């Protein structure tokens, strides 16, 4: 006979540890008498690193699932919304002061009257235009230092 799990121990805090603890607590009913007890331990010797830790768009779904209000969370954390990730000199070495870059956009490619533009970029229809510049606004928005929120 298998004994059901009634307690989970998470070793390590930080964003990953605390979000994991909150998610499991919500999903496993930690606030109910018959729920799974969630315990998190973290080092008192390791402080907040605070070096621009980032998330990807699915964090919004995760926060909704654990009952965290996005606006309150963003204000409390002093956070900002991220448009994508810019990889500089990812595929080629710089030549003098000329650098190449690639944007991993956090928005879906544009459609034109329901037509997905990405396959046309793959066929070379956009010439030398980068993927993110051809099918999303994020390249342009990021280079201008702007954002939607």
Decide if 82 is catalytic. yes
What is the C-alpha separation between 65 and 73, in angstroms, rounded?
14
Pick the catalytic residue: 3, 27, 37, 82? 82
Question: Length of the chain in residues, anyone?
Answer: 149
Long-range contacts of 47-51 (CB under 8 A, 24+ apart): 49/14
Q: Rg (Cα) of the chain, in Å, rounded?
A: 21
Active site residues: 82
């Amino acid at each position: 006979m298998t004994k059901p799990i009634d307690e989970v121990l998470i070793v390590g805090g930080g964003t990953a540890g605390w979000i994991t603890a909150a998610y499991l607590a919500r999903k496993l009913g930690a606030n109910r008498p018959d729920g799974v007890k969630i315990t998190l331990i973290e080092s008192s010797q390791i402080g907040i690193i605070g070096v621009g830790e980032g998330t990807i768009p699915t964090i919004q779904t995760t926060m909704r699932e654990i009952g965290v209000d996005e606006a309150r969370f963003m204000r409390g954390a002093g956070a900002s919304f991220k448009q994508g990730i810019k990889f500089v000199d990812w595929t080629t070495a710089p030549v003098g002061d000329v650098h190449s870059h690639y944007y991993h956009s956090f928005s879906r490619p544009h459609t034109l009257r329901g037509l997905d533009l990405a396959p046309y970029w793959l066929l070379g229809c956009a010439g030398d235009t980068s993927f993110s510049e051809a099918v999303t606004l994020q390249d342009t928005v990021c280079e201008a230092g702007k954002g939607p929120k």
